[in-house]
Structure 1
Amino acid sequence: MGAGWMDLEDQYAFYGAYHSNKVNVLIHTLLVWPIIFTVIALAAYTPALGSLPLRDDSLPLQQYMVLNCSFVISAFYALYYTAIDQKAGILAGAMCMLCWVGGNAFAQSTEFSFGWKIVIIAQIICWTGQFIGHGIYERRAPAFCDNFFQAFLTGPYFVLLKVLHSAFGYEPYPGFWNNVSVKLSANLVQYHSSKRTSKSS
């Protein structure tokens, strides 16, 4: 099931088709961002690729703004989210950059020999929770089984957008949710149709 990379409706409908159960959505809301953060924290152990221009270590948090692999990952996500939604995407981008700063703070305060173990434990807990959500509640394999990269790219923004919509009624632009509902329904119909076909064959 493909989707245009810069089409927010297609991206949301793709990911939403794998997350229609409320319990599964809640599990992902709690666990997706910790997965991203711990990946970024692990990447913060890599050597610096350069230095910030006009660097001043006396400024708060500047010591944690290291241009290593964690910055590359965070900046990529931040730029992508800002590009697909100039409103909430800015918030998502800011969260990504906070993960960069927090990840480097973690790496600088924790020896790698212990830090990677914390990351692995957190990843195991978070992934186990998500597999439970899909296996018991959603009863559908995770999105990454069909498109690994797209699922990882869409997941963090999906849960943030879901929270913003539920809590504040946020809509990226007028008609967004109506359009997504149509595409999401079509994706689910296609999935259930293919499932019935595979059972009958």
Structure 2
Amino acid sequence: MGKGLFDLERHFAFYGAYHSNPVNVAIHMLFVWPIFYTSLILFHFTPSIVCLPFGVCNGDGVVLNLGFVFALVFAVFYVFMDQKAGSLAAVLCIACWVSSDCLAARLGLSLSWKVVLASQLFCWSGQFLGHALYEKRAPALLDNLPQALMMAPFFVLLELLQRLCGYEPYPGFRANIHAKIAASRAEWQAKKEKKDL
């Protein structure tokens, strides 16, 4: 269990307190990674940091640009929070970067931004509707944008791993998380009721 910046329990509990409804969590499972992926498509068109002389995407090799930096920061963050699931998340981040770079090179800027805009509008709308209709709570990004954006892809991956194979980063993780989420939601509910008076 990490502390400070890489404290998985703290990050997961923060994000989980805004995502306790199963329908809303399922909506996020569908839309969070496409948001990450399509963001990387646009980063393809940022200036290159360095070009590696191998690869098949654009004929010039693999270009290391802001898309690479973006994917790398997320990947490293996840590995430091949890080595096993974080390593899987890191592989997904890098795979998203490589494939989005290839797609962006094929589409070109004029088509890429249209694809990204349509995808982002659709995915963000779905998530906001999930919060409004099922969660009955504003999204986490309204309270802490950086933490919500960084945690979202890892949160949905951990949820999926837990559902599919009962994965826990360490014994007692789920119990600790549920207690923290319940306390956070109770505090939020009390504040909400106080405002409604």
Q: TM-score range by the shorter chain?
A: over 0.9
Q: What one-letter code is carried by the residue in structure 1 that aligns with 2:185?
A: L
Superposition pairs of residues 20-169 of structure 1, within 5 angstroms: 20-52=20-52, 55-57=53-55, 65-169=62-166
Q: What one-letter code is carried by the residue in structure 1 that aligns with 2:42?
A: L
Could you state the TM-score of these two structures normalised by the residue count of structure 2?
A: 0.94
Q: What one-letter code is carried by the residue in structure 2 that aligns with 1:12?
A: F
Equivalent position SS for 1:5: helix
Q: What one-letter code is carried by the residue in structure 1 that aligns with 2:155?
A: F
| Runs of 4+ with >2 A deviation | 55-58, 60-65
Alpha-carbon displacement from aligned partner over 1:52-110 (angstroms, at most 9, x marks no partner): 3xx4347x999663201100000000000000000100000000000110111011101
Tell me how far apart the structure 2 counterparts of residues 197 and 101 of structure 1 sit (CA, whole Å).
49
Equivalent position SS for 1:124: helix
Alignment length (residue pairs): 195
Q: What one-letter code is carried by the residue in structure 2 that aligns with 1:157?
A: F
Q: 1:165 to 1:71 in 2, by over 3 A?
A: same
Give the CA RMSD over aligned residues. Answer: 1.8
Q: 1:71 to 1:190 in 2, by over 3 A?
A: same
Q: CA deviation at 1:14?
A: 0.4
Could you state the TM-score of these two structures normalised by the residue count of structure 1?
A: 0.92
* Structure 2 spans left out of the alignment, 5+ residues: none
